[in-house]
Amino acid sequence: MSRQGRFFAAGVLGAALLGAAAVPAQQPRTRVEGNLVFDGVPAADPALAQRLQRYQQSRGATFLDWTADGSLLIQTRFGATEQVHRVAAPLGMREQLTFYDEPIEWAHAARSGAGFVFLMDQGGNDNAQVYYQPGSGAVRALSHGDFIHGSAVWAHDGKRVAFYGNDRDSVSYDVYVADVSSGAAPQLVVGGHQDTWYPLDWSPDDSKLLVWKYLSLSESYLYLADTTTGALTPLEDKPKKVGIRAARFDPGGRGVYVLTDEDGEFMQLKLKDPVTHDSHLVSPEVGWDVEDFDVSADGRYVAYVLNEDGRSRLTVLDTLGKVTLTPAGLPEGRIGNPRFDRTGRRLAMSVETATSPRDVYVYELDKGGVTRWTRSESGPLDAATLVAPELVRYPTWDRVAGHPRLLSAWVYRPRGGAPAPVVIDLHGGPEEQARPGWNPFVQFLVNELGYAVVQPNVRGSSGYGKTFLALDNGLLREDAVRDVGSLLVWVGVQPGFDRERVAVMGGSYGGYLALASLVTYGERLKGGIDLVGISNFVTFLRNTAAYRRDWRRTEYGDERDTSMRAFLDRISPLTNATRIKRPLLVVAGENDPRVPVSESEQLVWRVRANGGEVWYLVARDEGHGFRKKPNRDEYLLTAASFLQKLAETTPSR
């Protein structure tokens, strides 16, 4: 049975399609609006919708790549979805280049000529195809079928593109090369086994590909692949288990730059020689991750970004002058995708803060200054009312070196003297990190509904070293839930918070944490929101897309092992659904291949069977999250309605 057929057969929507007479008396009412299905969700208050609408009008600009003529490719939205645009000069017009109902995921420009490639899936199904858009002429698909593709990298000749795809067996990531000038089918270069390969870069003479064999966040390997024969040579003479985040060739031919944690807890930038196997450290030894980097075309400049407790700091090294440059004039926030232009004298990047949308800035090395290239709209909001978060530390339940372990959290506080209701916003991953960034819905919760929003980094989050990253793996999974319990204790003693009105929300793995918190700490909570969350680890691992299954087993445990299966089943929210007594909003995308919609379906029915209150929202044209503006707006209005109701009611203890 198809995913859609199974969804209707489960009964969540079936009664609505059969008519009112077929609805059992106890069944919540269902309404269908376009591609959205609202099951047991009351109609929103028009006044609330009007207040929220002011916070839904912002847009940002994400830097994608430099074109060969020195223009920028950016990603931004004029209508319902984000598309590719060209900007030719600072604060110049945004010339739209792609026009699709589906959002564009990423784009890369050819190193010569006017063409670019971009990724786009259908309805959030993650099966992105690679498309080539020449400077003139029709767009052409370079890949086909219900398979996932990505990591498109241009050769220096401007004719060939390398990318990964799981076309061969739907599980493995193989590396293909397509010649956009010939129109021939892509050729398999690296693959043949059940491995995960990513192409990262072409050598300066295009004779080799730098490819990444990925096993997990803490184990991966680099190889040089002959682009003609596919023959593989390991970068290291004695490969060892390390975490690798990124790598690319030194344009000067001296070696390969690698972001690796091989020397300690954090990601550092190193330059490795594949012939002598010597390596030296490029970034300083500090207690933070280098999260991204780039090298100028002549190899003279190296730019890297440090993640310092969630904030980004950009550094540019002049390897010829032996000096370190720290660009002034960038907003303090998050920096993404720093990339040099073809001359190597301009460095573009995306920058966003908690109080300003994402925009594109360019550091001009010859002038020593920063130029803003885009100015995005925050909508009809008074910038003076926007709230910047405070970084706090709270003690958790275990100890390190004889002292309580301290975890970080970002706190957005409403203005006013009365104790505020609280939303604990749990990030996904689990290997992600709560960081300050542009989130108009958080600003709405703080300014309009009077909530304090707390975004913690429980164990298993990235950014705090590889030991911390592994503290929730396998049989340690419940320790992360205990971190939420410790946060509830901390919230309970803060004079500015109302401990009687605390809610949890989260997406993906954060959805699991929200559900597990309702199970374990329900008496301290008013309710929760689960967006595309895991309800049962065993069924999740069984039903997630095949190409993801082994990665997730590394993190969560292998459900094929009898004892691990019993553990995963025991800790799953679905098993403990009778303990979810508080109101719950569940949100899912019907086309989600990562956390299938069945994870939401089974939880909704189990909680309702026990008499629990559940609002259930499903999008038929979305996957792992809502990327289309009309859908996202309706989800946020539903979440706002739910949280407003929680804040206005008194819990029964």
132-155 per-position pLDDT tens digit: 999 888 999 999 999 999 999 999
**What's the one-letter identity of residue 5?**
G
Sequence-ordered list of residues with C-beta below 8 angstroms from that of 322, at least 6 positions apart, any chain: none
Across 457-533, the runs of DSSP E, i.e. the strands, are 497-507, 527-531
Q: At 16, is the secondary structure helix, strand, or coil?
A: helix
pLDDT of residue 28: 56
Question: From CA 64, how far away is CA 72, in angstroms rounded?
Answer: 7
- Spatial strand order of the sheet with 403-412 comes to 30-33, 36-39, 614-619, 584-589, 527-531, 497-507, 420-426, 452-456, 403-412, 390-400
pLDDT of residue 113: 81
Question: From CA 102, how far away is CA 105, in angstroms rounded?
Answer: 9
What share of the chain in percent tops pLDDT 70?
Answer: 95
pLDDT of residue 20: 31
pLDDT of residue 42: 96
Domain ranges of the chain: 3-16+23-56+385-648
Q: Give the pair of three-digit tokens for residue 4.
A: 């859609």
Residues of the chain with pLDDT under 50: 1-27, 651-653
Burial class (CB in 10 A: 0-12, 13-18, 19+), 193: exposed
Question: From CA 178, how far away is CA 169, in angstroms rounded?
Answer: 19
**By C-alpha distance, which of 589, 584, 618 is closest to 603?**
584
Given a contact cutoff of 8 angstroms between Cβ atoms, the answer to whether 312 and 333 are in contact is yes
Sequence-ordered list of residues with C-beta below 8 angstroms from that of 163, at least 6 positions apart, any chain: 117, 130, 142, 143, 149, 150, 151, 152, 153, 175, 176, 178, 186, 199
Sequence-ordered list of residues with C-beta below 8 angstroms from that of 244, at least 6 positions apart, any chain: 212, 220, 221, 222, 258, 259, 260
pLDDT of residue 533: 97
Across 72-186, the runs of DSSP E, i.e. the strands, are 72-77, 82-87, 95-96, 106-109, 116-120, 129-133, 140-141, 149-154, 160-165, 174-179
Q: At 192, is the secondary structure helix, strand, or coil?
A: coil
CATH code of 3-16+23-56+385-648, in short, is 3.40.50.1820
pLDDT of residue 292: 97
Question: How much is the pTM?
Answer: 0.92
Question: From CA 121, how far away is CA 307, in angstroms rounded?
Answer: 30
DSSP assignment letter at 137: S
**By C-alpha distance, which of 216, 214, 177, 222 is closest to 197?**
214
pLDDT of residue 416: 82
